[in-house]
A and B are shown apart, each in its own frame.
Chain A
């Protein structure tokens, strides 16, 4: 009885014919030796996948034990027909018994899947690139890698809108952009001041300066007629008049037209860059609200993004204890302090949140500790909850505000349990409206953790 083998590779289906089984018999050692193995196994046909997407579909189907249309066509085309009522003179060896039974049900091709077949398939897998002449080993590897990645991505329910890498990239880019725009604006100032030095003192804002430099061009052309347009740019008629007046009595020297053109172009570049920066900032805000809505509403988008980028990812941030989060960004100072046994720093990146600036000097450390504590809770909620809500962030923000008040005026803050109950209630309200919300178990857990831990620590203190 002839044995055919179905082998599913990353680049396509292939069918082998094992005809000289007697020669190696059940001796599976021969599998490793290509010269002997190739004598008994021969490639009969090969059906490549049309694209990476097709490959992924086929791979998914096989892993679930389903025979696809392509596979059926392939098998029926390349295997001898099985007549009704008669027993087939061959069998098909498959690796996956589920697929085998499916194949048998649909096409009546008898399948077998046992250790021996698996062993043969192992050999096929080992020598696969030798059997198919046109296939380069590197191609196969690439196909495997690509398929592997896309398969695993499909399996882990990957959400494209929650890639924190994008936030990390955006915050990095935002920092570089800030730096560059600043240095470029200073250059515009320096450059145009050669022609019109008085303008630098009248207009302080960099972006506005570039705009005016672009608009004004040659200062001697500036006259009263331009005041309406100028005041539209500046947003203040007095200033526009001041500019025109200054242009008349300017001590700057004349520039040749080519210089002026170049200054205009450069100013335009700076304007474009600043506009791009604005867009990028908006992008960052929307991304942060997708990825970490609670963190964003607690501490602000930019500081939140910085925290994520510093930790490496949102899940890394969620793994940090709040003490680590508190001094994230001041590693240098921390380790120096540890080395010299001095005082460790009180705050790192979270210093840029407005809370710490609002606290008095004595309470800065305390509020930083408290804020870091809330941040770490919130980052965990963001990282592991499936719903998209910023209620917790808002509630915790209120708590921090209350704590500030407490330090400042002595107003007692609400109890933590009450706040959390509040938060959960409002989330549940939303959840009732939105049937797809699946965070309720998690919420209960959160409530447990937040409240119980407080209670425990309190009782510990009493003891």
Chain B
């Protein structure tokens, strides 16, 4: 809050003509000092302002100039901060104080006024003390300015002032993006619900249509056009449907087994269709809006991962600035927190990608190098986000440049894959050669047999959505599946480092079997399997170690465990009590449940 005051003091005229200019968030106030004798005792001045009555004996409101609106207040205040009188202030002073002198709290402002308006100014301790007193009794002294009026004004002014000072641009509001992406998801969901309702409702009348027209929007359009199915024969659907489906529809309409419906029902169904169409239209608009916003707020991020993924990242991070503070590794698994923490807890492999999975670069990559590409993409994305949030550049050249680099890297990775499959590039047959489960062929096509880890599934906020259970049609079902698709890297780096290729192949074979088992068996025994796996892993490690010892010319003495192992042991020791605590908790829970 900025409060300035000037005391007008005229030594020539005498003690009576003294005015105080007080600056409030609501406007300028001019007070007349009634009893100037009190000003001599600066230390005791505050006592006079402890009550309204005594304060009224000293000062009296002479004039008050209210601001038009916040922007007016803002411009006046910013000028005052720079010690310049605004136009409004000059007019006000000219009107209400001529021939009187000024004493100023801000001496620079006093000088400015003196220069421009030829009013003498004064600034001393007594003035400051008076100011304090005035501020104390402000709402009482100025009629028509209650506390509840003043508070929102000062709040509003301070907000806009700080925004102004921070050079805040309304074009850079990322909350809008967060809102828009949330709304987009909501709309998709609701649109689907309504479309299903149309199908169900109209299906009573014309059940065959649901199979003929798969697309929800087309369906709504057809229903809206057709109304009663007996009208179908005489109508022209060429704008909505292809020729074949139109013919099919007309044929079905003739021999439909649906019941008749009353006109009122039809009218309501048509209205629902209108809603569906309007909603879908709005969704398209919203999507366009999101695109344009993303391109202005985060052009580089958009260039790298696309609008939707970018917007989801921002929404997930909370704001662009928050997101800019995240390292690349966090950006990589943003949106897969559940899988990550589960993996950390159960000591499995952590997820390779979160929201970033839907980026086209990751989509292009072959399954085997998806993890690598997502890592590099996340690194570049993190850079782009920082550039967008904090840089001054307005274009997306940086993002485009990085995208080209990533694409080049993708090609390189794929090329390397090709080399592997070609066989003996380094005079050594590769693992794949021995692995019968893998098909021979072009490198890019080599994929490990699909092992779908259901436990690593990530459901993007749709767990409670009833519509996911019944996808509208097969296409949508496929889409949903894609979304859920979330894999976990099967091999950890640690294992790769101390295993021979042959061993690895064996291990992989076993793993596949285990995974299959996992998929088949129920959840309750998954714990057992996990423990088994761990046991087996330990064995493997031991074997590997022995082999290492055989291979290395200078084996380490057995009695002295390596540093790594020491660490591991420590970790185990630490975890042991943890586990028991966990069990206790579970027990407690059970007890509670029983009660």
Report if A and B associate in a common complex: yes
* B385 to A: closest C-beta gap in Å: 21
Ranked nearest first, the 7 interchain pairs of A and B with the lowest CB-CB distance are A251-B156, A149-B257, A146-B255, A251-B159, A249-B153, A248-B69, A160-B262
User: Would you list 23 pairs from A and B whose C-beta atoms are within 8 A, ordered by A residue?
Assistant: A51-B254, A52-B255, A142-B255, A147-B255, A148-B257, A149-B258, A153-B259, A158-B260, A163-B259, A163-B262, A165-B204, A166-B265, A169-B200, A176-B193, A187-B179, A249-B156, A253-B159, A253-B170, A253-B173, A259-B293, A262-B176, A276-B275, A283-B268
Decide if A272 touches B278 in the complex (CB within 8 Å).
Answer: yes
Q: Evaluate contact between B160 and A256: CB separation under 8 angstroms.
A: no
The verdict on A253 contacting B286 (CB below 8 Å), with A169-B200, A248-B70, A259-B170 known, is no
Are A166 and B261 neighbours in the complex by a CB distance under 8 Å? yes
In the complex, residue of chain A having the shortest beta-carbon distance to the beta carbon of B200: A169
Cβ–Cβ < 8 Å partners of B180 in chain A: 262
Known contacts A146-B257, A194-B173, A253-B163; 14 additional CB pairs below 8 A are A145-B255, A145-B257, A160-B265, A161-B262, A163-B262, A163-B265, A166-B201, A166-B204, A169-B204, A173-B272, A176-B197, A183-B186, A187-B186, A253-B159
- Give A148's nearest chain B residue, CB to CB: B257
- Chain B residues with a Cβ under 8 A of chain A: 68-71, 149, 152-153, 155-156, 158-160, 163, 168, 170-171, 173, 175-176, 179-180, 182-183, 186, 190, 193-194, 197, 200-201, 204, 230, 252, 254-262, 264-265, 268, 271-272, 274-275, 278-279, 282, 285-286, 289, 292-293
A253/B200 in contact, CB under 8 A: no
- In the bound assembly, the distance between CA atoms of A377 and B257 in angstroms comes to 34
CA distance A161 to B255 in the complex (A): 22
Alpha-carbon separation in the docked complex, A190 to B178 (Å): 11
A172 at the interface (CB under 8 A from B): yes
For the residues of B in contact with A, the DSSP-based class is helix
Interface check A191, CB cutoff 8 A? yes
Q: Is the CB of B259 within 8 A of A266?
A: no
Minimal beta-carbon separation of A257 from chain B (angstroms): 9
Distance (Å) between the CB of A292 and the closest chain B CB?
16
Interface string of A49-71 (1 = CB under 8 A from B): 00111000000000000000000
**Pairwise interchain contact A273-B275, C-beta atoms closer than 8 A:** yes
The residue in chain A whose Cβ has the minimal distance to the Cβ of B171 is A256
- Nearest residue in A to B283 (C-beta to C-beta)? A269
Are the C-beta atoms of B197 and A169 separated by less than 8 Å?
yes
- Asked if A265 is an interface residue, CB under 8 A from chain B, the answer is yes
User: Could you tell me the distance in whole angstroms from the C-beta of A116 to the nearest C-beta in chain B?
Assistant: 33
A283 touches B264 (CB 8 A): yes
Asked if A198 CB lies within 8 Å of chain B CBs, one says yes
CB-nearest residue of chain B to A280:
B268
CB–CB A250/B260 < 8 A: no
Contacts of A220 in B (CB 8 A): 69-71
Complex contacts, B258 vs chain A, CB 8 Å:
149
Q: How far does the alpha carbon of A265 sit from the alpha carbon of B272 in the complex, in Å?
A: 19
Residue of B nearest to A191 (CB): B179
Question: In the bound complex, do residue B259 and residue A158 qualify as a contact, i.e. CB atoms below 8 Å apart?
Answer: yes
Residues of A within 8 A of B153 (CB): 249
Q: Are A198 and B275 in contact (CB under 8 A)?
A: no
Q: A251-B152, A251-B156, A272-B275 are in contact. Are A265 and B285 (CB under 8 A)?
A: yes
Interchain CA distance A284-B180 in the complex, whole Å: 33
* Contacting pair A266 B183 (CB below 8 A): yes
In the complex the two chains form, what is the Cα distance from A286 to B262 in whole Å?
12
Instruction: Name the distance in Å between A451's Cβ and chain B's nearest Cβ.
Output: 36
Q: Which residue of A lies closest to B229 (CB)?
A: A52
Flag whether A258 is at the interface (Cβ < 8 A). yes
A183 contacts across to B, CB distance below 8 A: 186
Question: Chain B residue with minimal CB distance to A10?
Answer: B255
Closest to B256 in A: A146
A150 at the interface (CB under 8 A from B): yes
Residues of A at the B interface (CB closer than 8 Å) are: 51-53, 142-143, 145-150, 153, 158, 160-161, 163, 165-166, 169-170, 172-173, 176, 180, 183-184, 187, 190-191, 194, 198, 220, 246, 248-251, 253-256, 258-259, 262, 265-266, 269, 272-273, 276, 279-280, 283, 286-287
B176 touches A160 (CB 8 A): no
Give the dominant DSSP class at A's interface: helix
CA distance A337 to B272 in the complex (A): 41
Taking the closest CB of chain B, its distance from the CB of A259, in whole angstroms, is 5
Q: What's the Cα separation between A218 and B343 when bound, in Å?
A: 49
Complex Cα distance, B201 from A166, in Å, reads 7
Instruction: Tell me which of B175, B252, B254 contacts A194 (CB under 8 A).
Output: B175
Instruction: Specify which chain A residues have a CB less than 8 angstroms from the CB of B68 in the assembled complex.
Output: 248
Instruction: Please determine whether B254 and A52 come into contact, CB atoms closer than 8 angstroms.
Output: yes
- A281: min CB distance to chain B, Å: 11
Residues on B with C-beta less than 8 A from A163 are: 204, 259, 261-262, 265
Known: A142-B255, A190-B179, A253-B168. A259 touches B173 (CB 8 A): yes
Contact (Cβ within 8 A) A262 B257: no
User: With A180-B190, A250-B70, A251-B159 in contact, do A160 and B256 touch (Cβ < 8 Å)?
Assistant: no
Taking the closest CB of chain B, its distance from the CB of A453, in whole angstroms, is 36
B295 to chain A, nearest CB (A): 11
A286 surroundings in chain B (CB, below 8 A): 264
Q: Please, which residues of chain A bring their CB within 8 A of the CB of B193?
A: 176
Q: Which of B200, B252, B282 contacts A269 (CB 8 A)?
A: B282
Contacts of A246 in B (CB 8 A): 152
Evaluate contact between B173 and A187: CB separation under 8 angstroms.
no
CA distance A349 to B282 in the complex (A): 36
Give A265 to B284 CA distance when docked, in angstroms: 12
Inter-chain contacts of A158 with B (CB < 8 A):
259-260
A149: chain B residues within 8 A (beta carbon): 257-259
Knowing A176-B197, A194-B173, A251-B159, the reply to whether A170 touches B268 (Cβ < 8 A) is yes
Known: A187-B183, A272-B278. A52 touches B256 (CB 8 A): yes
Residues in A whose Cβ lies below 8 Å from that of B259? 149, 153, 158, 160, 163
> Would A187 and B170 be within 8 Å (CB), given that A52-B254, A173-B272 are in contact?
no
Name A172's contact: one of B197, B230, B286 (CB within 8 Å). Answer: B197
**Is A249 a contact partner of B70 (Cβ separation < 8 A)?**
yes
Question: In the assembled complex, which residues on chain A have CB atoms less than 8 Å from the CB atom of B279?
Answer: 269
- State whether A258 touches B292 (Cβ < 8 A): yes
| Complex Cα gap A330–B250 (Å) | 46
* Residues A250 and B256 in contact in the complex (CB < 8 Å), given A173-B272, A187-B183, A283-B264: no
Which residues of A are found within 8 Å of B158, using beta-carbon distances? 251
Chain B positions within 8 Å of A51 at CB level: 254
A63 to B272: give the CA distance in the assembly, Å.
40
Whether the pair B194, A256 counts as a contact (CB closer than 8 A) is no
- Bound-state CA distance A452–B322 (Å) is 76
Q: Nearest Cβ distance between residue B441 and chain A, in whole angstroms?
A: 41
A265 x B176 contact (CB < 8 A): no
Q: In the complex, how many angstroms separate the beta carbon of A175 from the nearest chain B beta carbon?
A: 11
Query: Min CB distance, B427 to chain A, in Å?
Result: 62
Minimum CB–CB distance from A159 to chain B (whole Å) comes to 9
Q: A380 to B122, alpha carbons, bound, how many Å? A: 94
Interface centre among B168, B252, B264, B274 (most CB of A within 10 A): B264
Give the chain A neighbours of B265 by CB distance below 8 A.
160, 163, 166, 287
Contact A258 B190 (CB under 8 A): no
A279 and B230 CA atoms in complex are apart in Å by 26
User: What separation, in Å, do the CA atoms of A165 and B204 have in the docked complex?
Assistant: 8
Docked CA distance A457–B271 (Å) = 51
How long is the Cα–Cα vector from A399 to B260 in the complex, in angstroms?
38
Report Cα–Cα, A184/B278, bound state, in Å. 15
Question: Once the chains are docked, how many angstroms separate the CA of A258 from the CA of B152?
Answer: 27
Query: Which chain B residue shows the least CB distance to A247?
Result: B69
Q: Which residues of A contact B200 (CB under 8 A)?
A: 169
Once the chains are docked, how many angstroms separate the CA of A403 from the CA of B107? 84
* B70 and A258 within 8 A (CB): no
Residues of A close to B160: CB separation below 8 A: 251, 253
A53 proximity list for chain B (CB < 8 A):
230
- Cα distance A94–B175 when bound, in Å? 79
In the assembly, what is the distance between CA of A146 and CA of B207, in Å?
Answer: 11
B69 — nearest CB in chain A belongs to which residue?
Answer: A248
A145, B252: Cα distance in complex, Å: 12
A255 B173 Cβ-Cβ under 8 A: yes
